[in-house]
């Protein structure tokens, strides 16, 4: 599965504008010189993220990554942070990229920023559209395959005013969740492998 995920991400990146501000592109991911405006092309490279790296996050927040999500995190280092949803007419999914110098850092930062949602059974892992609010795995809504979870999003304009306490109580926040995908796997194939 990891090789399949790596193949789809690599193929996707071949058609993606792989440029980043030089400070955000680790040396080993650079695929050319820095231009006059401080931008540098980057490339997908093999990952060294392990199951034990992911287990630290799982233990900290009390959940288990679905297989395709853990495969996504272990497949390769990449900086694909703004990808288009095909299911939702080219709306953006702002994924947590995996830079080689801190592959789980962007995901950890996003999880920390929206950490009250964990108490409600939601695992934040990306942002919907242009930062409209967190996309989450809904741990109370397993997929039909049983080893994955539905993906929902919350509008930050609706949940931030509720405060951290309310965001940590499912009975107060569930009504604000908006369904997007039946599973992380469905999300992955929608954005990275639409022709698969």
CATH number of the domain within which 85 lies: 3.40.1580.20
Q: What is the Cα Rg of the chain in Å?
A: 17
- Averaged pLDDT, 21-30: 92
Residue 125: per-residue pLDDT:
97
Q: What does the angle CA 135 – CA 107 – CA 78 come to, to the nearest 5 degrees? A: 105
Residues spanned by the domain of 98: 2-192
Judge whether 98 and 6 are in contact, CB under 8 Å.
no
Is the predicted pLDDT of residue 189 greater than 80, yes or no?
yes
At residue 95 the predicted structure's pLDDT band, cuts being 50, 70 and 90, is very high
Report the b/e string of 137-167 with b at 16+ CB within 10 A.
bbbebebeeeebbbbbbbeeeebeebeeeeb
**Integer Cα distance of 182 and 138 in angstroms:** 10
- Residue 33 pLDDT > 60: yes
d(CA 23, CA 26): 8
Res 162 pLDDT > 90: yes
Question: What's 93's DSSP letter?
Answer: E
Q: What is the pTM of this model?
A: 0.93
Q: How many domains is the chain built from? A: 1
């Amino acid at each position: 599965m990891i090789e399949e995920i790596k193949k789809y991400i690599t193929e996707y990146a071949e058609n993606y504008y792989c440029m980043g501000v030089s400070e955000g592109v680790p040396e080993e991911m650079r695929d050319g010189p820095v231009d006059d405006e401080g931008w540098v092309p980057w490339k997908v490279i093999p990952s060294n993220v392990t199951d034990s790296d992911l287990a630290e996050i799982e233990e900290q927040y009390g959940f288990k990554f679905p297989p395709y999500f853990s495969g996504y995190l272990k497949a390769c280092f990449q900086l694909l942070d703004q990808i288009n949803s095909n299911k939702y007419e080219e709306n953006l999914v702002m994924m947590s990229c995996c830079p080689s110098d801190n592959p789980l850092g962007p995901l950890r930062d996003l999880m920390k920023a929206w950490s009250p949602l964990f108490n409600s059974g939601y695992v934040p892992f990306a942002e919907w559209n242009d930062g409209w609010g967190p996309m989450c795995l809904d741990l109370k809504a397993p997929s039909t395959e049983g080893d994955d979870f539905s993906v929902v999003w919350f509008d930050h304009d609706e949940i931030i005013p509720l405060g951290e306490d309310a965001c940590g109580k499912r009975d107060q926040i569930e009504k604000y969740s908006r369904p997007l995908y039946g599973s992380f796997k469905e999300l992955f194939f929608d954005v990275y492998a639409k022709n698969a």
